[in-house]
Amino acid sequence: VTEHAPAHEAPVRLRVNGREVEARIRTDDLLLDFLRERLGLTGTKESCGVGVCGACTVLVDGRPVSSCLLLTVLVRDRDVWTVEGLAERGEEEGPSGKAPRFRDVRRAFLDQEGLQCGICTPGVVVSAYALLQKIPRPTDEEIADWMAGSLCRCTGYHSIMRSIRAAAGLPPAPDVLADPVHEPAGGQGGAAENGDAAV
Amino acid sequence: MTPEIFLPVEEGREGRIDGELKIGGRMLFAADVPVPDALHAAVLRSPYPHARIEAIDTSAAERLPGVRGVLVGRDVAELRYGRLVRDVPLLAVGKARFVGERVAAVVAETRAQADRATTAIQVAYTPLPAAFEPDEALAPDAPAVHEEPWAYAGALCRPGGPRNLQARHVWTGGGDVEAALAGSEIRLEERFSTAAVHQGYIEPHACTAWVEPDGRIHVWASSKSPYRLRAQLAAAFGMPEEQFDVHAPAIGGDFGGKGSPMDVPLCVALARRFGRPIRLTLRYAEELTAANPRHDAAITVRAGMGGDGRLRAVDMRIVFNVGAYAGFRPRPALHGAEEAGSSYRIPALRIESLLVYTNRVPGGHKRAPGAPQTVFAIESTMDIAARRLGIDPWEFRRRNLLHTGDAAPLGQRWPEVRGRETLAIAERAFRPAFPAPLRPSIRVGRGTALYARTTRLGATSIRLRADAEGHVCADVPIPETGTGSHTVLRTVLARELGLDPARLAVRYVGTADLPHDDGVGGSRVTATASEAAFQAARRFGERARALAARRFGVSADAVTRTPGGQWVDPASGRVVDLVELAAFAALQGEELAVAIEMPQRQAGREDHAEEALAFCVQIAQVGVDEETGQVAVYEILTAHDVANVINPRSHLAQIEGGVAMGLGEALTEDLGIREGKVEAAHLGDYKIPSMRDVPRIRVAYLTGGRGVGASNVKAIGEMSNVAVPAALANAVEDAVGVRIRDLPLSAEKIYFALQQRGRKESVP
């Protein structure tokens, strides 16, 4: 194959979410399109198309990659996991034993509401899961560095940070916990029920 | 960034109604809806800002594999759409008016085939002189963006009016502004400008259209206003609304941008022409270059103050760049312009808004349309004025803020005005957050800005129905844009019906099923939908009570309801639950169901008693590197005047997400439009904040306010994003003494301003 060879059809075999997949593909097909259109795995989202936003993140041999930049032909014989597959096998033990399982990630994102519209969420949780596999107890710096590859426009990221820390079993930063700011009871304000949401 | 708290996990608390589906990747968005036998569409767009289309040769494209056909402007020349002014063609007719305008559409068996075929279409253009900026477009001899703009349905301009002026609106209140300015001891005249910025939702616009054999047209679209979309489609195609059924899957971010028909009319035209379902999903480059970003604005503020530090007069002229089409806006003016008069006592106020056609990507709605531009100008001016007067900016604002009972400068009398109180809690919550030690070239500063907006109830409808298992399903006409509105509705219904949330479902139903809704917007969804839910729950309760009475053979007022949602006949001790009541109704050929239609309340200018005014005061703390102009934001304190909060988490999420969006508009986001061309055409160049970029956010609440509707709530969705750019501009001046009047506050602008100041200082 020379650099300028036109796209042609080729057979591929790979594993997707633990299952063997065989297909004939065009050599210029993107993994993202293969997953969404050929396999119907629409949990993986298309957004920026240039590998910046992270909405199309999947795991290839355990590493998070942007499937919008990866040719399907390049994942021959590889092991691909999408959000649907991770959610399905969420009950199982993670590979390292100590790292949080996907169900812990899911539980933390539900509890801490690390999502809103949900379009970035599959990429975010896949990426967060990969982070915690690699670094089970990351620092905030490590979380922010890793997750900078997943853009979210709804949350402002604080709830995502809270979710990942909770998934890792990390405590909240204690210094500000006792600092909910609200008008004290009695005067104009005082709805203490809001106090628990104050940061 | 470091999170300060975990939100407590309440025992038995239900999370987001859509959480599991979204986290598992199973929620369907518009691009995910499976449509058998669909063709894919791709669009060829104009490379010229203004050009006559001499000829289009589609023959080569039509011969390519998989291609089923090509549509060009003359095929749909008579069709125009728009939210108010119907000036947007489905495909350019005769000439293209902006870089990125749709010129031809290809349909093919696969998206890749459709994409490839667009490159085989030959278009002969003759470039025409173009107008890019409003001031040049308003010149009498400027190129006309539209030959007869007054001829469009809904047009706001008249023949003989100023060249390219699309709409003008003037608000005045109080005394003669010129006289009051002339009589002011201190006068300012300041000019500001803001960049065109995109909503930055992660989901590009997507739609699918399908024409049934009987002519009924189904649309699946990322639309936040399905009922209005249906009305706009009906108007564009000259068909009855009932012929369209708009299905709205989950929306992957809206922020105002998903409120226009966008490509849906084209998709419908393609489906009618080619007889198969058509799917059209924008590439993100098309989003950035050819959707409907926030309007950039040039703003002049003239302000007069007395020596006592009180405002005497403000005259504001705001010129918005409409771009090539006005149809992405639903109103004659952008709401935010009027809000220049919502916060302060100004004895004489005049606001002039000009909207000017140019050969650029058309502007649309983004979170608080018109407000960040207006507030950037006003709140920067407040700081400049305070400096001139030698008064602390907080004190200056305190002196001038409206009080409860005051008429606002434009005449509104809101039931409650808590600007000073909100400022007070912000001041009390403030504490320095500057890190130490700092590099010697870093100067720190803080800046304050505020914003106020009203909430009023909109029009909507809702239906509740009990099924045989005793579950209650709420059919609603608003799609879930991500804000958590469906979860909030479930909370309200659970409370009012006395039911476990697990027994409640909330689902969007297509436009065929319910009478009407205004769509998501105006920061009114929680207020409006929860009011409708409240009314529906009450009526549902009456209906259930009547059924229970019939079941017991007693009168309705003899029946009581338990907190658990069961119905009791105290005399006999008999109890029925919803399962039994639903079965009882079904046996008699009835349903345990109610529907509510809540019409638009006509709030006149003098009648603001049903509106709630909400304030947001923000204090930003920054460090500016004098060597580079780079701004580091350490913390943004955001204080909110709220009434009842139904769901503290989704409420907080609106605040945090809004601050991050405001941060992007303040520091990094700019479509970079040069000679009509968007240069930041992908998300690598168009920099929206990542997790690395957002600062610590502290939230202070002023609770106990008077809101609207049965749930007594105030606006939150479009509050915390608005004042951030002004707060940061004020903080930058506090830190390094330079005033940036042009958004975004890029390092380059600050650097050059510092250089210029340095040169001035070095002159003996």
Q: Given CB atoms, is A125 within the 8 Å cutoff of chain B? A: yes
**From CA B393, how far away is CA B379, in angstroms rounded?**
10
Interface contact A136, partner B, CB < 8 A: no
If you ran DSSP here, which 8-state letter would residue B603 be given? -
Asked if A113 lies within 8 A of B5 by C-beta distance, the reply is no
Mutate to test the interface with A, among B13, B202, B208, B486 (most CBs of A within 10 A): B202
Contacts of A178 in chain B (CB under 8 A): none
Residue from the list B5, B691, B697 with its beta carbon closest to the beta carbon of A147 = B691
Q: Is B154 helix (H, G, I), strand (E, B) or coil?
A: coil
Collapse the DSSP code of B458 into the 3-class scheme (helix H, G, I; strand E, B; otherwise coil) and give the result. coil
pLDDT digits (tens, 9 = 90+) for B536-565: 999 999 999 999 999 999 999 999 999 888
Query: Chain A window 35-94: which residues touch B at a Cβ cutoff of 8 Å?
Result: 36-37, 40-50, 52-53, 55, 82-84, 87
Q: To which residue do tokens 């106090």 refer?
A: A195
Instruction: Name the residue among A49, A119, A161 with its Cβ closest to that of B3.
Output: A161
Regions in chain A scoring below 50 on pLDDT: 1-2, 174-199
Q: Return the number of other C-beta atoms located less than 10 Å from residue A77's C-beta.
A: 9
Contacting residues for B144 by C-beta, under 8 A, at least 6 apart: B163, B164
Residue A91: its pLDDT value, please? 56
Task: Choose among A134, A133, A127: nearest CA to A53.
Answer: A127
* pLDDT value at residue A159: 93
CB B106 within 8 A of CB B114: yes
Nearest to B97 by CA among B353, B322, B365, B331: B322
Taking residues B348-375, report their average pLDDT: 98
User: Tell me, what's the pLDDT at B516?
Assistant: 83
Percent of all residues in chain B with a pLDDT value above 90, rounded to a whole number? 88
- If phi > 0 it is left, if psi is from -120 to 50 it is alpha, else beta; for residue B426 that is alpha
Distance of alpha carbon B40 from alpha carbon B22, whole angstroms? 26
Quote the CA–CA distance of B691 and A141 in Å, as a whole number.
10
Quote the pLDDT of residue B520: 83
Identify the residue whose tokens are 């007022």.
B557
B79-124 per-position pLDDT tens digit:
999 999 999 999 999 999 999 999 999 999 999 999 999 999 999 9
pLDDT of B607: 60
Between B515 and A183, whose confidence is greater? B515
Q: Which of B393-402, B430-439, B718-727 has the lowest mean pLDDT?
A: B430-439
Which residues lie closer than 8 Å to B101 by C-beta, 6 or more apart?
B45, B46, B92, B290, B324
3-state SS assignment for residue A139: coil
ipTM over 0.85: yes
* B 640-659 residues with CB < 8 A to A: 642, 644-645, 648-653, 656-659
**Closest residue by Cα to residue B357 from B90, B131, B192:** B131
Query: Quick one: pLDDT band at residue B600, thresholds 50, 70, 90?
Result: confident
Assess contact for B364 and B329: CB atoms under 8 A: yes
Interface contact B284, partner A, CB < 8 A: yes
Distance of residue A77 Cα from the nearest chain B Cα, in angstroms: 24
* In the predicted structure, residue B354 carries a pLDDT above the cut 60: yes
Residue B584, phi then psi, degrees to nearest 5: -60, -45
Chain centre to alpha carbon of residue B581: 42
Question: Contact, B173 vs B351, CB < 8 A?
Answer: no
Contact B543, B594 (CB under 8 A): yes
Task: Give the model confidence (pLDDT) of B319-328 as tens digits.
Answer: 999 999 999 9
Phi, psi of B615 (to 5 degrees): -110, 150
pLDDT tens column, B656-667:
999 999 999 999
pLDDT at residue number B328? 97
Cβ atoms of B7 and A193 closer than 8 Å: no
B253 vs A154: CB contact, 8 Å cut-off? yes
Least confident range of A7-11, B234-238, B332-336, B725-729: A7-11
End-to-end CA distance of chain A: 57
pLDDT tens for each residue of A95-106:
555 788 999 999
pLDDT (average), residues B684-706: 94
Q: Which amino acid is at B420?
A: R
For residue range B262-282, list pLDDT tens digits in order.
999 999 999 999 999 999 999
The residues, any chain, with a CB within 8 Å of residue B528's CB and separated by 6 or more, are B457, B458, B459, B460, B518, B598, B709
Percent of residues, chain B, with pLDDT higher than 70: 97
Taking the C-alpha atoms of residue B82 and residue B482, their distance in angstroms, rounded to an integer, is 25
**B1 touches A147 (CB < 8 A):** no
State the average pLDDT for chain B. 94
